[in-house]
Structure 1
Amino acid sequence: MRASVIQMNQGSDKAANLDQARRLIESAVAADRPDLVTLPETWTNLGGGRDARRAAAELLPEPGGAGGPAYEMLRGLARAHGITVHGGSIIEDGGEKLFNTTLVFGPDGTELARYRKIHLFDITAPDGTGYRESALYGAGSDLAFFEVAGIRLGCTICYDVRFPELFQELRRRGAEAILVPSNFTLQTGKDHWEALMRARAIDTQCWILAAASYGSYEERGATRSVYGHSLVVDPWGHVVAKCSDGTGWATARIDPAVTARVRAGMPLDQHRDSARAWVAKAAT
């Protein structure tokens, strides 16, 4: 399976963001002929404050029903190019709360998966900037999976990557690759981005596909920056594809034989069973 991670520089203009995403996906498809493309986190909106986020939000239909502009664009691109489109995440209108939600569409336009971000980004950055995702967004509670070319992929979003227990559960339930669409801040990204993605690949022995936003955006009169460096990591922890600065994409071949070889040579799941038994015994 060939997979392309798309790197965007989105802002608060939803129509412009949709156009940018479409152009990048179509360029990646034309150049690299991937089976799967994946977009960054909240690619329909970045910046502009609460009003801009609510304006960008979409009510999601029942599977098979008609959705909003981003929903229909993703479904249409999947169908038009005969590929699987993992829509990073968009802002879902959940009524009182918004949700940071992944949508996945198969080559015939069928919706394959939805995932609401579980871990919300409520932190204070080293420069004192506060981020309070929970002030506007609700948290998800369910895991989500889909398949491409016989490979089982699990869904996460951005801050989820700091919680290895989630990734271990995805592996336990059969994931061979895990997607991490992101808007990593520049400050956290320069120190933690690649280290975290490689760590999750190594400790789950899964491929990690992380499409990210790049560049600067305006938020309530201040300029904020996101790190970019969209990448693909193999199950041994090697970065096998990475975007340069700016918008674009990177493509890699996701090879199940590599996954099998890594897992056979170092059978972590068997060893974890022993560790779990030891912990359970120690707790009694």
Structure 2
Amino acid sequence: MHISVIQMNQGSDKAANLAQAQRLIEAAVEADRPGLVSLPETWTNLGGGRESRRAAAEVLPEPGAEGGAAYEMLRGLARRHGITVHGGSIIEDGGEKLFNTTLVFGPDGTEVARYRKIHLFDITAPDGTGYRESALYGGGSDLAMFDARGIRFACTICYDIRFPELYQHLRRRGAEAILVPSNFTLQTGKDHWEALLRARAIDTQCWMIAAASYGTYEERGAARSVYGHSLVADPWGHVVAKCSDGIGWATARIDPAVTARVRAGMPLLEHREAARGWVAKAGA
């Protein structure tokens, strides 16, 4: 199965972001014929402040009902091309709180997964810039997984990558590939992005599929930068596809035989389960 990770340079103009995403997906499908395409985190809006985010948010329908502009665009692309469309994440209008939410549509346009980001990005970057995702967003609590062409996928978003226990749990639940749409800051990304993705690939023996936003955007009058470098890493931790700077995409072949070979040669899950007695002893 071939998978394309889409790298965008979105801003606060939702209509322009939708047009950019559709153009890139159409180009990737024409060039590489992927079975699944993946967009970055909050690809419908990046920057512009609270009002811009609220304006870009969509109330998500019950599966099967009609949704907003981004929802219907993703569903339509999946159906038109007969592929699985992983919609990175969009801003969900949850009423009092917004949510950073992934949507996935199968080849017939049916919604097959919905995931709200669990770990919220409340940090201070090395340059002193503060990020407080929880000031506007609520956190999710439910996991989401889906099957596409015989491969079991799991959904995560950006900051989730720093919490290996989540990824171990997804592996125990059968994940073979884990999606990580992101808006990694330039400062954290240049030091941690690839290292974290490769580490999660190695310790879960899963494929990491990470579409990311690239470039600069405006946030309340100040310029901010995101790292990009969208990539796919295999279960051995090799980066097998990666975007250059700028907008575009990268495509990799997800091979279940590679997954099986890595897991058979180094059965980490079985060893981990066999050694769990130390947890009880440590808590005694």
State the TM-score, normalizing by the size of structure 1: 0.99
Give 1:1-284 correspondences, 5 Å limit.
Answer: 1-284=1-284
- Classify the secondary structure of the residue corresponding to 1:85: strand
CA distance in 1, matches of 2:144, 2:257: 24
Letter paired with 2:198: R
Task: List alignment gaps of at least 5 residues for structure 2.
Answer: none
* Alpha-carbon shift at residue 283 of structure 1 (Å): 2.4
C-alpha separation in 1, matches of 2:117 and 2:37: 19
- The CA deviation string for residues 52-81 of structure 1, in whole angstroms up to 9 with x for no partner, is 000000000000000000000000000000
After the TM superposition, which parts of structure 1 deviate over 2 Å for at least 4 consecutive aligned residues? Answer: 281-284
Looking at structure 2, the residues matched to 72 and 48 of structure 1 have their Cα atoms a distance apart, in angstroms, of: 24
Q: Distance in 1 between matches of 2:83 and 2:200?
A: 26
Cα deviation, residue 282, structure 1: 3.6
Look up the equivalent residue of 1:42 and give its one-letter code: T
Structure 1 residue 246 displacement after superposition: 0.2
Query: In structure 2, the residue corresponding to 1:66 is in which secondary structure?
Result: coil
Q: Secondary structure at the match of 2:47?
A: coil
> In 2, distance between residues paired with 1:188 and 1:281?
36
Alignment identity in percent? 86
Q: Which amino acid aligns with 1:56?
A: A
Shift of 1:275: 2.4
- Give the Cα separation in 1 of the matches to 2:180 and 2:128: 25
SS at match of 1:244: coil
Give the partner amino acid of 1:6: I
Q: Deviations over 1:134-181 (max 9, x none)?
A: 000000000000111110000000000000000000000000000000
Whole-angstrom CA distance in 2 between matches of 1:283 and 1:225: 43
Instruction: State the secondary structure of the residue aligned to 2:275.
Output: helix
What letter corresponds to residue 178 of structure 1 in structure 2?
I
Separation (CA, whole Å) in 2 of partners of 1:125 and 1:279: 33
Aligned residue for 2:55, secondary structure, equals helix
CA deviation after TM superposition for structure 1 residue 276, in Å: 1.2
How many residues align structurally?
284
Kindly state the Cα deviation for residue 279 of structure 1 after the two structures are TM-superposed.
1.6
d(CA) in 2 for partners of 1:33, 1:110: 20
- Distance in 1, Cα, partners of 2:282 & 2:120: 32
- Looking at structure 2, the residues matched to 241 and 280 of structure 1 have their Cα atoms a distance apart, in angstroms, of 41
- Shift of residue 278, structure 1, vs aligned partner: 2.1
Q: Secondary structure at the match of 1:143?
A: coil
Distance in structure 2 (CA, Å) of the matches to 1:71 and 1:146: 18
Q: Secondary structure at the match of 1:272?
A: helix
Distance 1:279 1:183 in 2: 35
Give SS of 1:96's match: coil
Alpha-carbon distance, 1:281 to partner = 3.3
| TM-align CA RMSD | 0.5
Structure 1 stretches lacking a partner, 5+ long: none
